Amino acid sequence: MLVAHWLFQLIGFFSYLMNYIDQDGSCNLEYLAIDPSKYASQSKITERDLEIVLSSVSASFADFKKLLADKREADWRFDFMPFRSKPLIELAPNRFFCSDIGFLVEEIFSGAYWTINDGLDRSERPKLFSAWGILFEEYVNWFLGGCNFKHDLLFWPAPA
């Protein structure tokens, strides 16, 4: 799966979940969780691609509990890494709930790096680390290239 497809799917998740609160302030419970079978049938994404995206940003409840229990160097009271790395939690069979929409949005801009990183062998990861600046520059150019701005954008690759 291309990183672009992964990114578009995250934007799709965000858009889908934002329908939970209607314009009049009422709640649409249908949009509280992502049901993969329903979501795939209502979009152009294949079930396989949806599985790939969900595997990178979601965890079952049992797996999420393990993530929370893992020892990390950060103070547990301020450690949001499990929520940041897996913002969608499967609390019921095939029902993925978003723990915090901000963490899902964070995946849209910083998750691309970690998704590529996680897809590489450990021996290849230093190459990504050293090339990330160039990759990020290309990513921003690609991302902004599709936008329709009223004025030309100026880009300085090495500001003084």
Structure confidence by residue, pLDDT tens digits, 113-156: 877 888 889 999 988 888 878 877 877 777 777 666 666 666 66
Residues 122 and 68 sit within 8 Å (Cβ to Cβ): no
CB of 21 closer than 8 Å to CB of 27: yes
The Cα–Cα gap between 22 and 148 comes to 28
Q: Domain total for the chain?
A: 1
DSSP string, 14-43: HHHHGGGB-TTS-B-GGGSEE-HHHHHHHS
* Residue 142 in domain: no
155 within domain boundaries: no
- pLDDT tens by residue, 39-90: 888 888 888 889 989 998 999 999 999 999 998 888 888 888 899 989 999 9
160 in a structural domain? no
136 assigned to some structural domain: no
Is the residue at 133 inside a domain?
no
Q: Is the pTM of this model over 0.95?
A: no
In a domain, 159, yes or no: no
Query: Residue 112 belongs to what domain range?
Result: 3-121
Q: How far apart are CA 126 and CA 88, in angstroms?
A: 28
